């Protein structure tokens, strides 16, 4: 009976939490986390260039990408996005986007596999997929266990597991970094005073930040030309013609011996 209840708990449908997550980011603690993630994301976006960058279910204002001409936001109707779509059906053509940003999109997805698959399909070969997720082994990971808010329902997938999924989808991990080392506090002034912790832990590259960023590149598969069938015509062998001795040749031989 208890095993059946536990199975029903795991299989029950999840609610779409894109709206409540965006509302949480408007709070003081949400602004603190958004600022630390912005310090991690904006320098990375300055390195990318192209025509289109897509943000799926952005919980905060989209970070600037100065070298990319068009920014597009899509996702759930609870957010003020430009294009509405389901997480398993994106209205984007195959291999049409240079960069896709998933900021906590996998943490609150109904199916993280569907979101990651749709994002991988629309990235062009050589394009990049940037994922920001909550890290369970951190101060923020402890915070979500004691809160009754939206983070209680977050997946907080390990970076290693997402890296394995990316490898299956044809992506190669280029960068993994951590941020948000400072705890989320009610006192904003105290939070600012702990900026030294962010700089110190970031310089040490300690894997204990409240969030992580994965930057993966879609591999370009070489085109193998089809081998054309070579048709070689083999002619049948014919018997060679052997010259026969004639009387004229015999007389010429006798005359040569007489001269000697």
In a domain, 260, yes or no: no
In a domain, 33, yes or no: yes
What's the domain count of the chain? 1
The DSSP secondary-structure symbol of 232 reads: -
* Separation of CA 193 from chain center: 35
At 125-173, the pLDDT tens digits run: 999 999 999 998 888 888 888 888 899 889 999 999 999 999 999 999 9
Listing DSSP states for 54-73 in one string gives EEES-SSPPPP-TTEEEEEE
Average pLDDT of the chain, as a whole number = 83
- CATH at residue 146: 3.40.50.150
At 247-258, the pLDDT tens digits run: 555 554 555 555
In a domain, 256, yes or no: no
Q: Give the Cα separation of 260 and 246 in Å (integer).
A: 22
Both tokens of 251, joined, read 């007389």
Q: What is the pTM of this model?
A: 0.78
Domain holding 162, by residue range, is 9-218
Cα–Cα distances in angstroms (integers) from residue 188 to residues 32, 138, 184, 202, 242, in the given order? 8, 19, 9, 21, 109
Q: Give the Cα separation of 206 and 181 in Å (integer).
A: 9
- What band does 223 get if pLDDT is binned at 50, 70 and 90? very low
Q: How many CB atoms lie within 10 A of CB 101?
A: 26
In a domain, 225, yes or no: no
In a domain, 21, yes or no: yes
Residue pair 98/52 in contact (Cβ under 8 Å)? The answer is: yes
- What band does 217 get if pLDDT is binned at 50, 70 and 90? very high
Whether the predicted pLDDT of 242 surpasses 80: no
In a domain, 239, yes or no: no
The residue-averaged pLDDT of 187-214 equals 84
In a domain, 247, yes or no: no
The residue-averaged pLDDT of 170-198 equals 87
The residue-averaged pLDDT of 234-260 equals 53
In a domain, 231, yes or no: no
């Amino acid at each position: 009976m208890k095993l059946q209840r536990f199975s029903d708990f795991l299989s029950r449908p999840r609610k779409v939490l894109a709206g409540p997550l965006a509302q949480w980011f408007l709070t003081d603690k949400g602004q603190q986390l958004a600022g630390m993630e912005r310090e991690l994301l904006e320098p990375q976006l300055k390195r990318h260039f192209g025509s289109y960058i897509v943000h799926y279910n952005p919980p905060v204002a989209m970070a600037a990408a100065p070298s990319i001409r068009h920014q597009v936001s899509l996702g759930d109707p609870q957010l003020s996005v430009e294009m509405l779509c389901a997480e398993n059906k994106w209205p984007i053509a195959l291999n049409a986007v240079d960069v896709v940003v998933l900021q906590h999109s996998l943490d609150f997805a109904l199916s993280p596999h569907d979101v990651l698959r749709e994002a991988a399909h629309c990235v062009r070969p050589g394009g990049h997929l940037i994922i920001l997720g909550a890290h369970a082994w951190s101060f923020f990971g402890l915070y979500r266990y004691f809160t009754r808010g939206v983070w209680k329902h977050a997946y907080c997938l390990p970076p290693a597991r997402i890296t394995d999924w990316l490898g299956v989808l044809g992506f190669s991990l280029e960068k993994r970094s951590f941020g948000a080392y400072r705890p989320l506090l009610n006192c904003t002034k105290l939070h600012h005073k702990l900026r030294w912790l962010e700089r110190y832990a970031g310089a040490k590259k300690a894997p204990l930040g409240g969030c992580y960023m994965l930057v993966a590149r879609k591999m370009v598969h070489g085109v193998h030309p089809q081998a054309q069938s070579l048709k070689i015509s083999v002619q049948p062998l014919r018997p060679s013609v052997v010259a026969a001795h004639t009387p004229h040749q015999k007389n010429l031989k006798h005359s040569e011996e007489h001269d000697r």
